[in-house]
Amino acid sequence: MVKQVQNVKRNTFENLEAPDYVWKSGKFIPWDKATFHISMLGWSSINMVFEGIRAYYNENDDQVYVLHLNEHLNRLTESMKMMRMHPYIETEKLKEVILELIRKNKYKADTYIMPLAYFGDGPPGFLPSGDRLGDMAITVKPIDSLLTSDNTLNVGVSSWRRISDDVMPPRIKSIANYQNGRYAAEEARINGYDQSLILNSKGKVAESTYTCVFMIKNKTLITPSVTSGILDSITRKSIIEISKNELGLNVEERDVDRTEFYVSDESFICGTGGEVQFIGKIDGYTIGKGTPGIISKEIQTLYHNLVRGLDHRYHHWRTPTY
């Protein structure tokens, strides 16, 4: 029986329901059997790279569409290369594993997919090095989409700076990199903010907490460049693509000062997990009217319709599961 898991709110990763199966280094394993020795806990996370991938359920098609599957797995391969880690499995085979894992868990719901690659065979207290084969694990869990929400975020500029490419490469998805974002996220929480803007070593805006960030000024969409210390975001690329091609917006990728955001007409964040969410205030400065901007809402709506397959354009973004 296919699981129609649409009624319970799952807007945070803490509330995600456990699946029946995960995949680990060549085998589909029941959730409660997917374990490894406690001595490997710390070391595997130090060198671990991953992807967060969204899949959207289209009720009319009775189909789960995995978003940008090829692009995510290509970035995972690049992240593994930066760790000098050889892939455990070829990309084309990994694609089928992910689709089969959704099918084995009988999901007909919006789903979050997380493939992990790591060195898991080093002895306790030893950091693996050198070009070696990486272990892999994949989990899938249902999660609700926020793409129809008008919620606005209260954002503060963090005192923490974004890691730079000569410290730890921010363009890849490494678990270790996310400690940088966690410092900013905890500071924001303590200070009563929903999110942070994080500046790079030059004092320019890099990104928001775990997400990329955009502003709109005079009908121009502006975002920090990929050399500003940001994750090389797939969602960011998608937003730029549809904003240019479908909405006819001018797009600038460049260095951006924090004060430009203060006086912007609209602003929003984007990412696989965060999707598209609006910014209402930054450091107490109201952005526009403090409500979702007209252009930002248009971008969010178009993005939602495309990723869910309600708008049949950009079919190459979507991989059907069933």
Q: State which residues form the domain around 280.
A: 152-307
| Domain annotation covers residue 320 | no
**pLDDT confidence of residue 123:** 53
Same domain, 180 and 280: yes
DSSP letter for 322, please: -
Element housing 304 (H / E):
helix 294-307
**pLDDT confidence of residue 126:** 54
Cβ(144)–Cβ(11) under 8 Å?
yes
**pLDDT confidence of residue 37:** 76
The radius of gyration of the chain from alpha carbons, rounded to an integer in Å, stands at: 20
Same domain, 235 and 106: no
**pLDDT confidence of residue 16:** 63
**pLDDT confidence of residue 3:** 54
**pLDDT confidence of residue 44:** 76
Among 91, 124, 142, identify where a domain stops: 142
Same domain, 160 and 124: no
Same domain, 157 and 296: yes
Residue 29 maps to which CATH number? 3.30.470.10
| Domain annotation covers residue 319 | no
Same domain, 170 and 247: yes
**pLDDT confidence of residue 2:** 52
Among 90, 112, 142, identify where a domain stops: 142
- By CB atoms closer than 10 A (0-12, 13-18, 19+), residue 253 is middle
**pLDDT confidence of residue 133:** 86
Residues of the chain with pLDDT under 70: 1-16, 121-130
Same domain, 187 and 128: no
Same domain, 158 and 301: yes
Same domain, 76 and 181: no
**pLDDT confidence of residue 120:** 75
DSSP letter for 169, please: -
**pLDDT confidence of residue 128:** 58
Instruction: Name the domain count of the chain.
Output: 2
**pLDDT confidence of residue 75:** 97
Among 93, 115, 142, identify where a domain stops: 142
**pLDDT confidence of residue 36:** 78
Structural tokens at position 9: 């709110």
